[in-house]
Amino acid sequence: MSKITVLPHQQLCPEGAVLEAEEGASLCEVLVDNNIAIEHACEMSCACTTCHVIVREGFNSLNDSTENEEDLLDAAWGLEATSRLSCQVRISSQPIVIEIPKYTINHARENH
């Protein structure tokens, strides 16, 4: 089990949270399963940016992002060097600290 620390977010997690997750689990699914209602407008299919998070600690322990994820992140509000789409992050054995941005851009694109 790995530790995920979620920094306080005014609406989604006012007190912050410390979660446990199995290695290989989807970060977005872990958040939702623990009652942190992060948006995921595309149903976790890597087609929007609503599940954008900023990894404050442990970024280098995570799986690499794909080109598609990188392209989508370019449109995310508040993009930082350690931004990821939580639906694409797989939990590693190392602890991480994440911040959920205050705003999201809520739209999904259809893949044809």
Query: Does 73 map to a domain?
Result: yes
State how many domains the chain has.
1
> What mean pLDDT is predicted for residues 5-14?
94
Average the pLDDT over 67-83 and give the result: 93
pLDDT in tens, 42-74: 889 999 899 999 999 999 999 999 999 999 999
Could you list the residue range(s) of the whole structural domain that residue 26 is in? Answer: 2-99
Strands 17-21 and 52-57: unpaired
Find the CATH number of the domain harbouring 45. Answer: 3.10.20.30
Cβ contacts of 24 within 8 Å, gap of 6 or more: 90, 91
In a domain, 39, yes or no: yes
Instruction: Tell me: pLDDT of 107 over 50.
Output: no
Reported as a single tens digit per residue, the pLDDT across 26-49 is 999 999 999 999 998 888 999 989
